[in-house]
Amino acid sequence: MAQRGAQLDPLKFSCSICLDLLKDPVTVPCGHSYCSNCIKGHWDVEKNKGIYSCPQCRKTFRRKLNLKKNILLAELVEDLKKTELQRLSTWTKGFETSVDRQKQAELVEKIMELQPSVSSLIPQLMLF
């Protein structure tokens, strides 16, 4: 997918509803993409109005759409996660023992699971 050495910007692959990396991304007809659960939750709130809208551009749809997973976007997000994990693992090599490296790797994985969008800040935080 992505060229070797090319930098992917996590913000371009973030859901504007939850502000996290896209999970099971779907794209609405206006072209904006969201986590599947996020847009479904947004539309569940709007269903009383009978009109569904895009949270970004406010384009309206008269019926709730049956959205399909955007496979290409999902693959790009997975590539981004792998790139971020590889980049994060490079700064764990400076730890004293393999036990320290293992603990650091586990911590990085937990941080990625909890909040992948802040993972790009971790190397900067380690400088303090």
Pull the structure tokens for residue 74: 């999902």
Helix axes 71-90, 98-114, angle to 10 degrees: 150
Residue 118 has pLDDT above 60, yes or no: no
pLDDT at 74: 92
Question: DSSP assignment, residue 66?
Answer: -
Q: Which residue's structure tokens are 């090599």?
A: 93
Q: Are strands 33-35 and 52-53 parallel, antiparallel or unpaired?
A: unpaired
Residue 128 has pLDDT above 50, yes or no: no
Domain boundaries, the chain: 10-125
Alpha-carbon span 12 to 15, nearest angstrom: 9
Tell me the sheet residues that pair with 35: 25
Alpha-carbon span 121 to 7, nearest angstrom: 15
pTM of the model: 0.62
Higher pLDDT, residue 114 or 9? 9
Comparing C-alpha atoms, which of 53, 46, 24, 49 is closest to residue 37? Answer: 24
The per-residue pLDDT of the chain, averaged, comes to 77
**What is the tens place of the pLDDT at every residue in 45-90?**
888 888 899 999 999 987 878 899 999 999 998 888 887 766 666 6
Q: Going by CATH, does the domain composed of 10-125 fall within 3.30.40.10?
A: yes
Higher pLDDT, residue 37 or 117? 37
Chain centre to alpha carbon of residue 54: 19
